[in-house]
């Protein structure tokens, strides 16, 4: 599969490797560094973003190959430049023990934070355009259930990518506290209050989960629609749950408290 991915899009394949390498370094630093932000390792954020950006790059490299006459070069350039900027700034701020997201403490930091929002929006809009192509281009070589999984995955990705503005506009990912975190694996979702990052994560990764499940397990268009409906329901449920100030997962310790 990796060889096939490299043949489909070498530029995004290499960029994905770079992202995963940065993620591995951040994982190591999260274990040895004492620098913290909001009571968790400052390296957790660049770790999560490095992994997420690498997965996105490999995913879109795989999907775009199916599109006939699609000019992949501008997309590659857009993704690599904008994601590189985001990852560099997030990692730099972690090394300095400072926030990247929600940081408007100075006009310069506010400007860079706005640039990150513009970068993410640009890639999301480009992804939406690619989603339109999957609806409008003839793709007879793709199984119908797999094609619909890609379409629906892109739709959910776009919706919940823009859901990130709910956090950005509030300068806070928590409902009921200030950027509350926990030690819940790498994601760090709050165990005590609502956390808008849960729906953001679930919705965006429909881009991978729906096509993988449809292609390898479901192999049926009706079942693919059912999975997409249930998955969308879960993502929207976690969003409404967070808006009510309720955590996605609450340990017995926090329940007793």
pLDDT, tens digit, for every residue of 114-123? Answer: 999 999 999 9
Cα–Cα distance between 102 and 167 in angstroms, integer?
A: 9
Round to whole Å and give the CA distance between 198 and 113. Answer: 21
Q: What does the alpha-carbon distance between residue 189 and residue 94 come to, in Å, rounded to a whole number?
A: 18
Task: Please give the pLDDT value at position 172.
Answer: 93
Summarised one tens digit per residue, pLDDT across range 148-187 is: 999 999 999 999 999 999 999 999 999 988 888 886 777 8
- The SS3 call for residue 11 is helix
Strand stretches in the chain, DSSP E: 36-37, 40-41, 174-175, 194-195
Taking 3-state DSSP, the helix, strand and coil percentages for the chain, each rounded to the nearest 5, stand at: 70, 5, 25
Q: State the helix-helix crossing angle for 197-204 and 206-213, rounded to 10 degrees.
A: 40
- Per-residue pLDDT of 127-145, as tens digits, reads 999 999 999 999 999 999 9
pLDDT level of residue 256 (50, 70, 90 thresholds): very low
For 74-102, the pLDDT digits (tens) are: 999 999 999 999 999 999 999 999 999 99
Percent of the chain with pLDDT over 70: 96
Distance CA 65, CA 76 (A): 12
- Rounded to whole angstroms, the Cα distance separating 174 from 72 reads 37
pLDDT value, residue 104: 96
CA distance 255 to 225: 36
- Which percentage of the chain shows pLDDT scores above 90? 88
Structural tokens at position 139: 């793709």
pLDDT at 186: 75
* Verdict on whether the full-model pTM lies above 0.85: yes
Torsion over CA: 61, 216, 203, 95 (sign): negative
Q: Please say whether the beta carbons of 235 and 199 come within 8 A.
A: yes
**Residue 178 pLDDT:** 85
Give the model confidence (pLDDT) of 192-229 as tens digits: 999 999 999 999 999 999 999 999 999 999 999 999 99
Residue at token pair 């926990």: 182
Q: How far, in Å, CA of 15 to CA of 53, rounded?
A: 9
Instruction: Report the chain's mean pLDDT, rounded to a whole number.
Output: 94
pLDDT of residue 251: 61
3-state DSSP assignment of residue 89: helix
Q: With 60 as the cut, is the pLDDT of residue 66 above it?
A: yes
């Amino acid at each position: 599969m990796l060889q096939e991915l490299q043949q489909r899009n070498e530029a995004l394949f290499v960029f994905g490797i770079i992202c995963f390498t940065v993620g591995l370094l951040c994982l190591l630093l999260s274990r040895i560094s004492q620098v913290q932000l909001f009571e968790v390792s400052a390296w957790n954020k660049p770790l999560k973003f490095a992994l997420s950006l690498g997965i996105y790059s490999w995913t879109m490299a795989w999907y775009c190959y199916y599109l006939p006459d699609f000019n992949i070069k501008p997309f590659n350039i857009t993704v690599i430049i904008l994601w590189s900027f985001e990852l560099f700034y997030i990692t730099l701020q972690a090394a300095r023990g400072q926030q990247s997201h929600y940081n408007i403490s100075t006009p310069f930091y506010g400007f860079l934070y706005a640039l990150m929002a513009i970068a993410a929006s640009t890639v999301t809009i480009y992804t939406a355009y690619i989603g339109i192509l999957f609806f409008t281009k003839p793709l007879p070589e793709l199984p119908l259930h797999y094609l619909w999984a890609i379409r629906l995955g892109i739709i959910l990705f776009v919706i919940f990518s823009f859901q990130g503005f709910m956090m950005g506009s509030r300068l806070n990912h928590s409902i009921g506290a200030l950027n509350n975190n926990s030690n819940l694996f790498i994601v760090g979702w709050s165990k005590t209050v609502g956390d808008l990052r849960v729906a953001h994560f679930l919705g965006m990764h429909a881009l991978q989960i729906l096509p993988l499940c449809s292609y390898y397990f479901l192999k049926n268009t009706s079942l693919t629609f059912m999975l997409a409906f249930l998955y969308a329901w879960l993502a929207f449920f976690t969003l409404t749950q967070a808006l009510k100030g309720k955590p996605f997962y609450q340990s017995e310790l926090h329940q007793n408290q």
